[in-house]
Amino acid sequence: MVEEILPDIFKITVPLPDHAVRSVNSYIIASSDRTLVIDTGWNRMACLETLLAAMEEIGVDRAHADLFLTHIHADHAGLAGWMAQKGATVYCGQRDIALMDNFINTSGDKSWPVMQQLAKPHGFSTEELTKGLEAHAGNRYAPEGLGQMTAVQDGDTLTVGSYQLTCIATPGHTPGHMCLYEPTNKLLFSGDHLIGGFTPTISQWALDGTGVDDYLASLDKLLAYDISLALPGHWDSFTNWQGRIKKAKAFHAACNDDILAVLADKQPLSARQVAAARSWNGSKNAWVFFPMARKWSATADTLAHLCHLRDHGQLEMIRHQEQVLWRTKID
């Protein structure tokens, strides 16, 4: 589905079959010189067909299109390799480029070996590690054949036709997440940093990561901008971006409280065990119904909050054999 937002700016709803969020938004800023595509969908036929049909409908020559990735998750970056092979320059935040190097086995065997090693100390069984990888859309539909990407920094500008776009580094959902701001019409391409209907998880496996603090600071950073319309990575465009920022902050404060309550009986638990006992979407039993890939992302989000609570003096991290465990701080 193609929707014209402004002259030469189009929103494409790209389906994500069998995924809870159902679709990802790709944006096309058309130009007679170089067109810019923002995010693509998975490396999967249904996504490619949608993108190709949209380009044809808009009249974009795909040999003259570049790609901007808000972040490296496969639902946004899946077709980056395909576009690169058609001649696109692929722009992405530096810290996400570094992650992409970790997660894609460049030999073409998409086994995500680094990912498995990162998840291993946090309470997953060998079977869960194998099953999680097989099922994970980020693994199954990751970009292929993606060569060198072009790093963008906070404040960089890209010119596409008559539009000037400024890159805003918004680490949190991923460490290298980037938004794009168009100042004349006050548009914000917000990726997964700010979404209308829900608050994105923070994906963090690194024990020295600061994903939650980064995310909160990135929310505050946007308050300095004047935004008429936010164009998110999923679902509908929205105008009440300040209200969304408030909700996102309240959401993460509630996540912290929930995690502290889970650990209140002082038993050390792994990140996976804490994640299993948290409420998700207001339900204490939600974990049981999560597919394995969702259990992985829920654990990564929990780990981000555990590290945050440790860094703010509320929890202790302990190592037990090869496992990493968490408990309330004992004075």
What is the binding site for Zn ion (CB under 5 A)? 75, 192, 233
* Residue closer to Zn ion, measured from CB, 77 or 263: 77
DSSP string of 138-174? Answer: HHHT---S----EEE-TT-EEEETTEEEEEEE--SSS
Taking the complex as a whole, how short is the minimal distance between the CB of residue 318 and Zn ion, in angstroms?
Answer: 33
Cα separation values, 247 from 156, 192, 195, 198, 241, Å: 29, 15, 11, 9, 10
Q: Nearest distance from residue 94's CB to Zn ion, in Å?
A: 20
Q: In 3-state terms, what secondary structure has residue 257?
A: helix
Between 66 and 192, CB nearer to Zn ion:
192
- Rounded CA-CA distance 303/297 in Å is 10
Nearer to Zn ion, 12 or 324 (CB): 12
Q: With respect to Zn ion, which residue has the nearer C-beta, 8 or 75? A: 75
Of 75 and 182, CB closest to Zn ion: 75
Contacting residues for 251 by C-beta, under 8 A, at least 6 apart: 199
Beta partners for residue 234, in sequence order: none
Shortest distance in whole angstroms from residue 70 CB to Zn ion? 8
Smallest gap, in angstroms, from Cβ of residue 64 to Zn ion? 26
Give min distance, CB of 192 to Zn ion, in A. 4
CB of 100 to Zn ion, least distance (A): 15
2 DSSP β-pair partners: 12
Maximum separation of any 2 CA atoms in the chain, in Å: 66
Closer of 192 and 301 to Zn ion (Cβ): 192
Closest CA relative to residue 231, chosen from 185, 177, 194, 201: 194
HSE on the CB side for 6, CA within 13 Å?
16
